[in-house]
A and B are shown apart, each in its own frame.
Chain A
Amino acid sequence: AQKITQTQPGMFVQEKEAVTLDCTYDTSDQSYGLFWYKQPSSGEMIFLIYQGSYDEQNATEGRYSLNFQKARKSANLVISASQLGDSAMYFCAMREDSIIQGAQKLVFGQGTRLTINP
């Protein structure tokens, strides 16, 4: 069963607008973590933001924020004031806590391709 679902294969947004990228997850663990990564066309994966399941506040990192709704099992990424350089693939990933100590097994979604139009 798919554990991370990103329902938007592609999104097109005007520059300077805010954009929300959806991510829903499925887990029976009480302790887990959610990560968002950006992948430009060059291929490298860039870490954006992290949310732990016990974190009481929604995570924020500069223009990135995470809308974490635990009961709905969703962890949507919000990018404020989008820029042309934000055009990339965006991946949501979940850390499963049934792990060997010290190593994280991440499960990735299929990704959303975001295009920022001038």
Chain B
Amino acid sequence: DGGITQSPKYLFRKEGQNVTLSCEQNLNHDAMYWYRQDPGQGLRLIYYSQIVNDFQKGDIAEGYSVSREKKESFPLTVTSAQKNPTAFYLCASSMGRANQPQHFGDGTRLSIL
């Protein structure tokens, strides 16, 4: 079945540690996105990528980094510079056409130890 796989489902970060969240899609979508969701809030865009080896900052990119070496993969690294990383992180992909929706993974819940 086609879809988006995020791993791990739960992740714990120690002080000063970088952690990487995985996102893989087999939908053959060109565009991929990372969102952050805080409790009781909507989603905020962290980074997005239109094509391989290209990505753009979203609204809250500080303290995060991404790479897009393969069309299928768009990992997100939460760096130690992100002082409040506890949140629910959602990865999405889309065909890149205006009327096509973004498809989401099941999310990764990140907490501070």
> Are A and B bound to each other?
yes
Judge whether A33 and B105 touch: CB under 8 Å: no
Q: Name the B residues within 8 Å of A35 (CB-CB).
A: 101-102
Q: Name the B residues within 8 Å of A95 (CB-CB).
A: 98
Which of A43, A47, A111 is most buried by chain B, counting CB atoms within 10 A of its CB? A43
The number of chain B residues touching the other chain, given as a range, is 20 to 34
A4 CB to nearest chain B CB (Å): 8
What is the CA–CA distance of A46 and B92 in the complex, to the nearest angstrom?
11
Judge whether A103 and B49 touch: CB under 8 Å: yes
Judge whether B49 and A45 touch: CB under 8 Å: no
Judge whether A111 and B50 touch: CB under 8 Å: no
Query: Contact residues of A with B, CB < 8 Å?
Result: 4, 31, 33, 35, 37, 42-47, 50, 52, 91, 93, 95, 97, 100-106, 108-111
29 interchain pairs, CB-CB under 8 A: A31-B98, A33-B99, A37-B104, A44-B105, A45-B90, A45-B102, A46-B104, A47-B101, A52-B99, A91-B42, A95-B98, A97-B98, A100-B56, A101-B50, A101-B96, A102-B30, A102-B50, A103-B48, A103-B49, A103-B50, A103-B56, A103-B94, A105-B48, A105-B58, A106-B33, A106-B43, A108-B44, A109-B42, A111-B40
